[in-house]
Amino acid sequence: MRVRFLVVLLVTGIVGCDTNPAEHVDEDILTRLQKISGARVTELPATGHFNRVFEIHIPQPVDHDDMNGPTFLQKIYVGHVGEDLPVVLETEGYARDNFRIRDLAPAMRSNQISVEHRYNGFSVPFPLDWQHLTIKQAADDVHRIVTLMKEIYAAGWVSSGRSKGGDAAIFHRRFYPDDVDATVAIVAPILFSDNDGRIEDYLSTVGDDSCGNDVQELQRNLLLKADSVATHIPGFLAWVNDNFDTSFSFSIAHRDVVRYAAVDYPFEFWSSPSHDCSTIPGSDATAEELYNHIVEVVDLILFYSDYGVDFWRGWYYQAQTEIGNFVLDTAHIDDLTGDLPDLASIYDFGHPLVFNPLAMQDIDNWIKSEGDRIILVYGENDPWTAAQFELGGGDVVKIINSGSKHETTLYDLNASDQATLTTKLTSWLNYGSIDFAL
């Protein structure tokens, strides 16, 4: 479990590299990265096909409309192969604790730059001024990183991301369409309100009536036996901390952890890659049986621990202001959840959150009218696919990966879909070395 720290640099301005691609081509890549003004560069062990790997903290303005204002350090990772090779720009939607090799770079044998999202992980300004957590400010972050890194990497660029990271890649393209040559967004949804009903509509039709009834019965059973099920959480927490050398804790009452999990259960069950209606405990299930099932379906640590609450803080703010959220029908359990506090009550952003529907309407209009050189990949059975982007007239390709869910990867695609993706990318990037068999 890492210790989080916050850093703020008070500077009078932010400048870029003092080099250009035509100069210093014989310099070591570490030397070139260290010339980025204000950057803190740490070399990490090489991994995968990368010759060198670096963690870099780069000063960014809290508000890109005020370049002389306060700044924060944004963390990025650079996987280096060669300065004459393309770059895969991986936009993360959340914190990024380590260098993770994503889908495209290995297939292209290319460089990879991963960008931690602002207001997540280490990339957090202090003091927190939440009004600057917007899709435009995040796109500005990425644009500045691209501008700096093109001083080193001048070949083709393709942006990519998964889920909220895929959204970040699309948002960046909307505001800076020429920063990269192409974009591959994987399982990226678009939601038009803070209570978008399309995912609930999907959940109400997936599976047969018998399984749907079993899901609802399980929810009620969990809520009715929440006190007894909650008695197993201390042992679970101790086991996690002992086996993974962590220090997770719950400030949320254990009983309420079980109740929140019961509310979220339908989405998590149908999102699970291995959901099986026959595994749902019946009405006569003991508290231990209910507990054993719920921890297999719902990640209690990720969603409700103190770590989890902090992890989702930035997402929650964006969901309630610009990027939207889905709503679940709870009419069948409202009689058992009336006193359950809204999870939103644990967050304090210093001002009321007001959703702006124009943000996603603008993104939707852009991708339909001006979107170009974009590939969208979705899992056929992923509930988030109910909120997929719709296409317009530009060169935008959508691939639905049969039988898969939110964990789908480019390596899961069938040969025909991989050929489509490869043909498009080689054309857009003018780069012919892409092989998913590597």
pLDDT one-digit tens code per residue, 89-124? 999 999 999 999 999 999 999 999 999 999 999 999
Structural domain of 323 = 198-346
Asked whether residue 179 is assigned to any structural domain, the reply reads yes
Please name which of 57, 63, 122 lies closest in space to residue 311, comparing C-alpha atoms: 122
Continuous H helices in 7-51: 29-34
Using only the alpha carbons of the chain, give its radius of gyration.
23
For residue 6, pLDDT over 50 is answered with no
Confidence bin at 432 (pLDDT 50/70/90): confident
For residue 27, pLDDT over 50 is answered with yes
Asked whether residue 438 is assigned to any structural domain, the reply reads no
For residue 296, pLDDT over 70 is answered with yes
Asked whether residue 63 is assigned to any structural domain, the reply reads yes
For residue 201, pLDDT over 50 is answered with yes
171, 67: one domain: yes
202, 332: one domain: yes
Confidence bin at 433 (pLDDT 50/70/90): confident
**Length reported for the chain:** 438
326, 364: one domain: no
30, 99: one domain: yes
Record the tokens describing residue 246, joined without a space: 């962590």
Please name which of 139, 163, 200, 191 lies closest in space to residue 322, comparing C-alpha atoms: 191
For residue 22, pLDDT over 90 is answered with no
Q: Which amino acid is at 14?
A: I
28, 100: one domain: yes
Q: Are 73 and 9 contacting, i.e. CB atoms less than 8 angstroms apart?
A: yes
Chain center to CA of 174: 18
Which of 346, 381, 414 represents a domain boundary (last residue)? Answer: 346
Which of 322, 346, 370 represents a domain boundary (last residue)? Answer: 346
Confidence bin at 423 (pLDDT 50/70/90): very high
257, 400: one domain: no
Range scoring the smallest mean pLDDT among 50-59, 159-168, 342-351, 356-365: 342-351
Asked whether residue 186 is assigned to any structural domain, the reply reads yes
151, 250: one domain: no
Instruction: Write down the pLDDT at residue 344.
Output: 78
Domain count, the chain: 2
341, 381: one domain: no
176, 242: one domain: no
Greater confidence (138 vs 347) lies with: 138
For residue 349, pLDDT over 50 is answered with yes
For residue 273, pLDDT over 80 is answered with yes
| Mode of pairing for the β-strands spanning 52-61 and 71-80 | antiparallel
Please name which of 89, 132, 93, 91 lies closest in space to residue 384, comparing C-alpha atoms: 93
Q: Which amino acid is at 353?
A: L
